[in-house]
Structure 1
């Protein structure tokens, strides 16, 4: 299959109504490829977990491919990059999260798998204190050269992006709309500068407007992309608190800047700290210490693999597929090995008993070298 067709089917899969990330991964794993999802016998599709007659009908709609063709024309015209969950360019930090999008679109020059990534979130109604603390943290962390992720909104978000650019750091804005528009529009001119120092990222097709329901989805990406999520200022409820909740569920570090007890815009941060859902931080040095960035020996020592002469052909195949040392998910291993999920689980369990593979959260596995 040529690159155009492969991209076409990937975009079409992402755009099928009611097919979320989990079902999409199940479909690809069962059918063997993205294109095969659209060519599979409808009766066979009903065997896929989570797929019923209505969903099969939705998958078979020709409008899926027609809409994808339109999306591709926009992608090619505007030099948009695609990040599919089976590609090397897909963010490793997101790959093991079951609800992470299967496909994202980006514009600019940035590394979604950079060694150090921080996400900064906060209220749109930022106070001078919040803006100063946001700028201070980024200024302090500039020596570590992290990628700074935020959401391009008013207040703390745009402060974080601007300070990152001022410090010559890569910064990424995760959008709640498609790349066919910039929201808020007042930040359009700044995004042209951003694409030289980072860029824009979204899971939404180019025509998607910034509807309210898109922003919680946007927030889960902001939470999953980073090593730490820093809540600078927030009321007791809102998008920043939702992002912190996502981050905690993904086992990410969450940090919050405290404020005065009577400040409405610090109520959310103070509550996160009081309920032990965030670390109290007041400077970039606190973040660096939290993440052990100054500890040259912070990386765990590699575990020595045991060598077995009695590995089966299936076991040897899986070890070969995992030789790059990266975490691998069940769906990817099933696709690459052409084993069913049941067969794959049995072989992986055997490798775990032999001490050469480690099971990780999120149905992911790591070869021990």
Structure 2
């Protein structure tokens, strides 16, 4: 996108109460943001949902002036831009009607042909939540997913630090422009996040910091991902809003169950109880529901010549030794284990290098 097109797109984004859905409608109707600003008022007023006030805004020079100033910031700080019709715009977000017409990023983001999940939850994460989050990301690291979150306190930063530790790409979705960072205490993590992914936002450097921005930001977290995981949440909270948005986008949602008496398990338990989220108790649950498979044997970590198996794992191993290639459901049936437990055991055995998955949810010993 050249600077002229970018200025007009920024100007369109700057118009208050226009919204991304309406902006996309206008762009599709007239071909580009530049054409919209140069179109006659009579033609614009024929578009459903525009109205006279918005048409008037389109002819106010204040928006182009503001766009020119923001462009200077973008060029000065080498900000990357992502226009919704271009190839560098995240593929999954293209399918969201209210996805931003224009996003901004910093870092080394690569979402091409990647598994992408969002990890969200309370800012007051418990020790149990921290342990579960770190273990989950460690276990799925072999599958090389991109970890998306909001860079906030609690679950967000726990997930993103765990991603960096396991050499996974991680992206923080911000509720403000790229000229600042919130919370300020997380500034010390910015360099390693940018080296292992980066930051996305659709807010300008001139946007005032507003707590309502977090709700708007959540649609990007949900839209970027094929699945959203809620680690811990109270009865109400931003993580549940993100889960609702993910559901509206027809994406998978997972929730970690907890004791009914635990304050920060109520939200997750309610999602599960209402059948709005899958139960997540291990990495195997995630891999099974999303149909993720370990594609190459060499990705299996800590592969050993002599593998120590737990008693239940040994039972599955001996069955597969005799039967050869077998489907997951058949393994579960013959070994008298529930399917979800069998999937969990098989994933652990994959990670130990004892078995390998095959197309069609088949498994065999190595």
Tell which structure's C-alpha radius of gyration is larger: 2
2:23 alignment counterpart: 24
1:289 alignment counterpart: 288
Query: How do 1:344-355 residues align onto structure 2 when only pairs under 5 Å count?
Result: none
CA-to-partner distance for each residue in 1:256-314, whole Å, 9 max, x for gaps?
11111110011100111111011101111211111111287xxxxxxxxxxxxxxxxxx
- Structure 1 unpaired stretches of 5+: 297-369
1:326 alignment counterpart: none
2:191 alignment counterpart: 192
Q: What is the CA distance between 1:180 and its match in structure 2? A: 1.1
Quick one: distance in 1 between partners of 2:232 and 2:88?
Answer: 32
- Structure 2 unpaired stretches of 5+: 296-366
Higher relative CO (CA 8 A, sep ≥ 6), structure 1 or 2?
Answer: 1
Q: What is the CA distance between 1:113 and its match in structure 2? A: 3.8
Whether the 8 Å contact between 1:150 and 1:160 is mirrored in structure 2 is yes
Q: What is the CA distance between 1:96 and its match in structure 2? A: 1.8
Quick one: distance in 2 between partners of 1:8 and 1:243?
Answer: 31
Query: How do 1:197-208 residues align onto structure 2 when only pairs under 5 Å count?
Result: 197-208=196-207
Indicate whether 1:86 and 2:85 are aligned: yes
Q: What is the CA distance between 1:77 and its match in structure 2? A: 1.1
Determine helix, strand or coil for the equivalent of 1:254. Answer: strand
Determine helix, strand or coil for the equivalent of 2:195. Answer: coil
Determine helix, strand or coil for the equivalent of 1:195. Answer: helix
Determine helix, strand or coil for the equivalent of 2:96. Answer: coil
Query: How do 1:237-276 residues align onto structure 2 when only pairs under 5 Å count?
Result: 237-276=236-275
2:143 alignment counterpart: 144
CA-to-partner distance for each residue in 1:127-159, whole Å, 9 max, x for gaps?
000111111111011001111000000000000
Quick one: distance in 1 between partners of 2:108 and 2:74?
Answer: 15
CA-to-partner distance for each residue in 1:29-48, whole Å, 9 max, x for gaps?
22222211111111111011
Q: Which deviates the most, 277-286 or 208-217?
A: 208-217
1:359 alignment counterpart: none
Quick one: distance in 2 between partners of 1:264 and 1:270?
Answer: 10
Quick one: distance in 2 between partners of 1:295 and 1:125?
Answer: 34
1:43 alignment counterpart: 42
Whether the 8 Å contact between 1:174 and 1:201 is mirrored in structure 2 is yes
1:339 alignment counterpart: none
Whether the 8 Å contact between 1:183 and 1:210 is mirrored in structure 2 is no
> What TM-score does the superposition give when structure 1 sets the normalisation length?
0.78
Quick one: distance in 1 between partners of 2:73 and 2:248?
Answer: 35
> What TM-score does the superposition give when structure 2 sets the normalisation length?
0.79
Q: What is the CA distance between 1:9 and its match in structure 2? A: 1.1
Determine helix, strand or coil for the equivalent of 1:118. Answer: strand
Quick one: distance in 1 between partners of 2:27 and 2:247?
Answer: 29
Indicate whether 1:221 and 2:220 are aligned: yes
1:72 alignment counterpart: 71
Whether the 8 Å contact between 1:21 and 1:101 is mirrored in structure 2 is yes
Whether the 8 Å contact between 2:143 and 2:294 is mirrored in structure 1 is no
Q: What is the CA distance between 1:95 and its match in structure 2? A: 0.9
1:109 alignment counterpart: 108
2:128 alignment counterpart: 129
1:183 alignment counterpart: 182
Quick one: distance in 1 between partners of 2:249 and 2:144?
Answer: 24
Quick one: distance in 1 between partners of 2:209 and 2:159?
Answer: 21
Number of aligned positions between the proteins: 295
Quick one: distance in 1 between partners of 2:87 and 2:7?
Answer: 18
1:52 alignment counterpart: 51
Query: How do 1:302-313 residues align onto structure 2 when only pairs under 5 Å count?
Result: none
Q: What is the CA distance between 1:207 and its match in structure 2? A: 2.2
Quick one: distance in 2 between partners of 1:187 and 1:94?
Answer: 26
2:208 alignment counterpart: 209
